Amino acid sequence: MRWLALVFVALIVALQYPMWLGKGGWLQVRENDRELAAQRDTNAKLKARNDALDADVRDLKAGYEAIEERARAELGMIRHDEVFFQIERGGAGVKPADAAQSKAAKPK
């Protein structure tokens, strides 16, 4: 009778092994679910980037406003009838403290 119980236990273990550790088993399915979730996150980020690029392409094809905006921002272009003013901040020019001293030192 004891050997029959051992045979049944061995049979149960033999049937359970593929379910837990074999190809397509529970552990493999769990790992595949994790990989699938990570790939879905990556796909969502790439889709958002592609949608933004698609909108940019449609804007550039549709009209000149988007082209002009991009040329101004990236290339620093101005129209032929515009005047360009560049304001330097903290550059090599005269500092406010130096300007006050030079005004006080000039005779009137």
- Is it the case that residue 83 has pLDDT exceeding 70? yes
107 Cβ partners below 8 Å, 6+ apart?
none
pLDDT band of 14, cuts 50, 70, 90? confident
pLDDT of residue 9: 87
How far apart are alpha carbons 28 and 19 in whole angstroms? 10
Residue 87: its pLDDT value, please? 86
pLDDT of the residue at 108: 47
pLDDT at 100 over 80: no
Residues 6 or more apart whose Cβ sits within 8 Å of residue 93:
none
Q: pTM value?
A: 0.48
Task: Note the pLDDT of residue 71.
Answer: 85
